[in-house]
Structure 1
Amino acid sequence: MNIVILGSGNIASHIGKAFHTLGHQILQVYSRNWANAHALASVLNADALDTIEEITDRADLYFIAVTDQAIQQVADQLPEPLHGIVVHCSGATDINILAGFPLHGVIYPVQGLSKDVTASLRDIPFGIEGSDQKIADSLLRLTRHISAKPFLCNTEQRLALHLAAVFANNFSNVLFQIAYEILKEQNLTFDLLKPIILETAQKVQKQIPKDVQTGPAKRRDMETIQKHLQFLMKTPHWLKIYQELTQEITRKKH
């Protein structure tokens, strides 16, 4: 398959390299920054472009891997007509943003990727959506070459998955940072929490999160909760987070 990559960042790098390794021909890599386009294109044996008007019309797949805010702009600037499938990789962007192309879809990796960090795509789920069933099936077959876990979904399901990922990944990570700073202030190392973080992550691989919930809120231990609240008085923003999460746990019926 002949592929054009539009973007040179994290997802573009991982997806481009994965397809290239499998023998697909990456024809072009486009980025507004030519140096970035050239850096990725040189790895993929592709032509580097910083002018979108030079995009070829003979590719089978056009993979838009830019920020959500830039997808519309890139799509509007693509030359017409394009006979290949045009896809974006956003979790929160409607498929209809590409409705101007007869063949379009979404290939959404449910993972935070960094281009400087090696990652195997085999175990990463990919949400697949197509402008019709034929396109969806085609993208599903293609994605199975790089991942063992592609699945069909619609735009609303994909948005829900993206939102859930923000809670599970982004929000948990900022809580890790809060914990890091609380410990640092007391001259304690964050390493002390790594075993319990790992244990929690391992538990939810096999069980529903609410079924493995522990801690003072689950036990309705108001004495300990009050001590925590008192400790957090000097950081009101953390105090508010603690209160909201405590209320979320205590209102659950276990």
Structure 2
Amino acid sequence: MPHTSIPLSQLKIGFIGAGRLGRALAWSLDTAGCRVHAVASRGAERAAEFAAPIAHCAQYPTQQLADECDLVFITTPDATIQAVADGIRWRAGQGVVHCSGATEVAVLAKAAADGAMTGGFHPMQTFADPAAAARSLPGSTITIEAQGELNGILLALVERLGCAANQLPAGARARYHAAAGYASQYINVVLGEAVRIWQSWGATESQALPALLPMVRGTLASIEAAGLAKGMPGPVSRGDVGTVEKHLAALGELDDDTLRLYRDLCLRSVSLAFAAGGIDADKAARIEGILREAKS
């Protein structure tokens, strides 16, 4: 039966893989009124935890799940997606989708050869805590990559989840996923550097983070309101050369790596400050010169 003839709420959805992303997405779909029909997982305990909050969600072997479901999400670790897809007999007209950000849809070639429609469905959200991720998913962006009927189904699911859709062309997934890292785990890295500098005078992480996080939230609010360039704070944004020089001198006393990272990040901020009109070309060149001359 073509997918377009099945109401979204009656579409039988299955998940192969019961990890954090799979649980968060399945629970969100169930809450949104979609029919999460079954889960398949090598770990019985994990499958039971996945299915527990969902009424009438069965725990099946992978082939039985594929036989009964109209749309299958493969939410296993990236390295196993192709092996999972290759080991199943798919059927014409069903949808087979993986949820990896970096893996190309081409790894689902076996499903496509069997006549299934294939695609990618990657929520731009963190999944350290599945329950928290499910609560924070509405309003997030989900990147989809599919064609024809499946593209329409995935767009409808994105809308049902209360999310925004980002459509990705083939071949761009690794770049897209790397870009997402700058807005997720690299925030941890940058804050880790700030905490490490605090520790240089004896402060602890538990003292530093409560001081730093409100500033992070304020910066995010500024970016949301004014954009990247005009929402950027700091000495470069206002052309404060003296403060930049003080930073370089102070961090150079700590270690070369700290100075190098500060210099590299600061150099990247100059073009944003110039675009925002906070500095002119002469001031931009002066700041860049000071930063490039700093020895690490």
Flag whether TM exceeds 0.5 (same fold): yes
Task: Classify the secondary structure of the residue corresponding to 1:32.
Answer: coil
Mapped pair 1:162 → 2:172: no
In the alignment, which residue of structure 2 is the partner of 1:27? 37
Partner of 1:112: 126
The SS at the match of 2:67 is: coil
CA distance, structure 2, for counterparts of residue 203 and residue 229 of structure 1: 26
Shift of 1:12: 0.7
- Given candidates 149, 160, 172, the residue that maps to 2:187 is 172
Higher-Rg structure is: 2
Aligned-pair CA distance for 1:62: 0.4
Aligned residue in 1 for 2:143? 127
Correspondent of 1:240 among 260, 263, 282: 260
**Aligned twin of 1:194:** 213
Sequence identity percentage: 26
Partner Cα separation in structure 2 for residue 214 and residue 142 of structure 1: 38
Q: Are the structure 2 counterparts of residues 9 and 241 from structure 1 closer, same or farther at C-alpha, using a change threshold of 3 Å?
A: same
Letter of the 1:206 counterpart: A
CA distance in 1: counterparts of 2:26 and 2:264, whole angstroms: 42
How many pairs does the alignment contain?
A: 252
The structure carrying a bigger helix percent of its residues is 2
Check the 8 A contact 1:220/1:250 in 2, yes or no. Answer: no
CA RMSD of aligned residues (A): 2.4
1:181 and 2:213 correspond = no
Post-superposition shift, 1:82? Answer: 6.0
Secondary structure of the equivalent of 1:99? helix
**TM-score (normalizing by structure 2):** 0.75
2:39–2:51 Cα contact (<8 Å) kept: yes
User: So what's the TM-score if we normalise by structure 1?
Assistant: 0.86
Unaligned runs of 5+ in 1: none
* Counterpart position of 1:150: 165
What are the superposed Cα offsets for residues 10-56 of structure 1, whole Å, 9 maximum, x if unpaired? 2211111122234433232122222111211222242234x534434
Q: Tell me if the contact between 1:58 and 1:82 (Cα under 8 Å) persists in the aligned partners.
A: no
Q: Give per-residue Cα distances to partners, 1:78-113, cap 9 Å, x unaligned.
A: 233364200011222212221322311122211112
Question: Displacement of 1:214 after TM fit?
Answer: 2.9
Identify if the C-alpha distance between structure 1 residues 67 and 238 changes in structure 2 by more than 3 Å, giving closer, same or farther: farther
CA–CA distance in 2 between the matches of 1:99 and 1:5? 18
Using the TM superposition, name which of 18-27 and 59-68 deviates more: 18-27
| Equivalent-residue separation in structure 1 for 2:44 and 2:21 (angstroms) | 18
Q: Is 2:83 aligned against 1:89?
A: no
Cα separation, partners in 2 of 1:190 and 1:151, compared to 1, 3 Å: closer
Q: CA deviation at 1:192?
A: 1.9
After TM superposition, list the pairs within 5 Å mapping 1:196-215 onto structure 2. Answer: 196-215=215-234
Q: How far apart, in 2, do the equivalents of 1:32 and 1:121 lie?
A: 26
Tell me if the contact between 2:144 and 2:167 (Cα under 8 Å) persists in the aligned partners.
yes
The answer on 1:231 being equivalent to 2:273 is no
C-alpha contact 1:127 1:151 (8 A) present in aligned 2: yes
